[in-house]
A and B are shown apart, each in its own frame.
Chain A
């Protein structure tokens, strides 16, 4: 033993990642490939060779759902557990597979062959239920498909040999507008940005501020492009709707050695999958928008660098995206002297996430990019001035970069012609749930909820969850509201629930989601989301009472007032909307009108009954003694 390094792969992986500790999450992902989990000696070895404490490496690994510090099955099957998966029968299918393969949910089978569990929404809502097997997505589950999967597992067929049809994912584009119909050729938006402003007066200071010493005067292109983005009225598509032009300008004006362009492709909001389709079919447009941003930030005069943060669930998109980057390098659209512009150097790296919704929050995303746990930072300072490695950083959503490329190519006036004055352009919606045609719909901003419902073939609709669990749950009285920043803002999710659905179960699913995804940094969210989960489960178990509603209100206030990031601030939205608009859904679940203990004495005696082998009436407490 002593003469041989027992874990040679650690060295290979370290070399692959240039011993760069910011790539820790990527290293852990790669190391896990070998055995499906990270044995303790591997963590020790990696920490020692990186020169950081072992606890720090273990702390990072233990943060991400898809990194395992305990032995796992050779096949790890994770059923997507969004409400839309459940509506498509995922729970019964999970049970079916467990029974078929003789394994208990959440446990590794005795022979170590497999484990079956659930995971947060995998973004296959329009073709669910979905699952991940060893990180690879499989949509449209049915008993037949699970039979096929079970056979492959029992035959121990390596994943690479599984039939491709299992992994085929549809785009389901149902309605196109200017973005999905863009017709741009690769490079067109960049060339338009380079050409823009040619002929205008050279080198004027950016919005009255002077460039810092030592940096040559800016060529007109970047400034003119920035002005165009500002004039287009483009606002971020990731949720908050911040003006993209102002963000780019603030970053451009911030001093720093390197300016970073980060594309947020974490798409973790349940019910959202439009970024998946953009990355599948429109990757060139995404990268084009990022390159335009780099041009605005760097102007070809100072260093810029790009990252795309791809959620782990979209792992299967990595190779096609890398191939697209490689092709763009060959075509002179990335790398050195882009499009022949001397000094305009920019390249893009892809980081793959590892299962953490909170990493979609921009400062948590940056922490994760730096190889840390994805915990949102204290702000100020904001990423535009102090982002990746403390440098000025723009973080934008996938769709925002696509729209920016359109503006760069076709101009602000053309773009503004679509949408409303406060919400210019178009928005992609991810439509799922109770409707005939789930999929991607592109509309000009200002479309009413009703129009979308009609187009997707929804009938007898009771409620729509707009923008996902962190957005708003609306009822039929509000279907004439408009999807736009000034009325109903949305990041794209549009989940439809018809009259047969129990809104309490919808909300309970979302409450569990937030409890599972809370990063655990701040008291209100860490403890509050878990308490909220306990309360809804208590109500679900038929032990709810009026007093529980009071606890819900208290938790809601605390999280709203004191949570550290948007996750905690919005975690109570579904509950709040149910109490406001669907009160009977929770009220009819309450057992007594004042107090009901969570503790069920008779149920607690189940173990004793099991030991004694009894289950007769005499081994149970009389029903009335349950309530004091």
Chain B
């Protein structure tokens, strides 16, 4: 079997796997946010940036190649990741103590795990009204990290196309598929994959809030670096190519 080196460890891979897929399957964690094992890698958050033969590149989209030398756990790269997490926090309006996703949130968990101790940047305070129109689902756009997972889940798994990303630059934003712009006027259902897939606290189910108390949630039990390895498929499979 072919293999590459990740921080000195030999990682076997199968043809078609990207560096992050092979690494996770072999029990090696590379921080990531927009990558989800069930979807084709998107490559937008850049948290998974590694140096491959010296060149900085996103590990989630980089095809694994035999003999590649990949560095991930370096001070430079973890510094970069901390800065990226700070930038995402500064871009949105994240008030963790009152957020239903707290403890289950990938962005928050990455912040803790990477040791982000300060805000680092002035916040943008973008004005993003919430959409509570749907009887079962709340949309809080303030927390979107633009990973596109809900868009893809809705299109590829639910066969609906409820969401899309619109706008450019810092105006980039999530929109829903309705002339009114309201979620209630789409055909989304609370059982949709799109509702489940959001890594942060944008797409929330109503009336289940705080059922599991903060302190006993996913990333309260173990850090995301350990949890991600548990979740990772141990052999390559991409259900939704």
Within 8 A of A (CB), among B129-158: 145-146, 151, 155
In the bound complex, what is the Cα–Cα distance between A524 and B47 (angstroms)? Answer: 10
Does A121 sit within 8 A of B, measured CB to CB? no
Given A53-B161, A56-B161, A527-B88, A562–B169 Cβ distance below 8 Å? no
Within 8 A of B (CB), among A52-91: 52-56, 58-59, 61-63, 65
Given A54-B177, A55-B163, A561-B56, A515–B80 Cβ distance below 8 Å? no
Q: Are the CB atoms of B44 and A530 closer together than 8 Å?
A: no
- Which of A56, A63, A380, A524 touches B168 (beta carbons < 8 Å)? A63
Does A459 sit within 8 A of B, measured CB to CB? no
- Whose C-beta in chain A lies nearest to the C-beta of B155? A53
- Whose C-beta in chain B lies nearest to the C-beta of A568? B46
What B residues does A598 contact at CB under 8 A? 122
Q: Are the CB atoms of A518 and B170 closer together than 8 Å?
A: yes
- Which of A522, A534, A557 touches B45 (beta carbons < 8 Å)? A522
What B residues does A52 contact at CB under 8 A? 161
Q: Are the CB atoms of B83 and A520 closer together than 8 Å?
A: no
- Whose C-beta in chain B lies nearest to the C-beta of A518? B169
Within 8 A of A (CB), among B36-80: 41, 43-47, 49, 56, 58, 61, 63, 76, 80
Bitwise, A14-58 to B at CB < 8 A (1) or not (0) is 000000000000000000000000001101100000001111101
Within 8 A of A (CB), among B15-40: none
Does B93 sit within 8 A of A, measured CB to CB? no
Q: Are the CB atoms of A62 and B175 closer together than 8 Å?
A: yes
Output the least CB separation between A201 and chain B (Å): 38
- Whose C-beta in chain B lies nearest to the C-beta of A598? B122
**Among A43, A55, A59, A517: residue with most chain B CB under 10 A:** A55
In the bound complex, what is the Cα–Cα distance between A65 and B83 (angstroms)? Answer: 30
What B residues does A378 contact at CB under 8 A? 41, 43, 58, 61
Output the least CB separation between A410 and chain B (Å): 39
Does A352 sit within 8 A of B, measured CB to CB? no
- Which of A523, A557, A558, A561 touches B44 (beta carbons < 8 Å)? A523
**Among B49, B56, B162, B170: residue with most chain A CB under 10 A:** B170
Within 8 A of A (CB), among B175-211: 175-179
Interface residues, chain A, with chain B CB atoms under 8 Å away: 40-41, 43-44, 52-56, 58-59, 61-63, 65, 356, 373, 378, 380, 515-524, 526-531, 534, 551, 554, 557-558, 561-564, 598
- What would 13 more interface pairs be, CB under 8 Å, given A61-B166, A62-B166, A529-B170? A53-B162, A54-B179, A55-B163, A59-B175, A520-B146, A523-B145, A526-B91, A527-B87, A527-B90, A531-B87, A558-B84, A558-B87, A564-B46
Listed A/B pairs (23) with beta-carbon separation below 8 Å: A52-B161, A53-B162, A55-B175, A58-B164, A58-B177, A59-B164, A62-B166, A63-B167, A378-B41, A378-B58, A518-B169, A520-B146, A520-B171, A520-B172, A524-B87, A526-B170, A526-B172, A527-B87, A531-B121, A557-B80, A557-B83, A561-B49, A562-B58
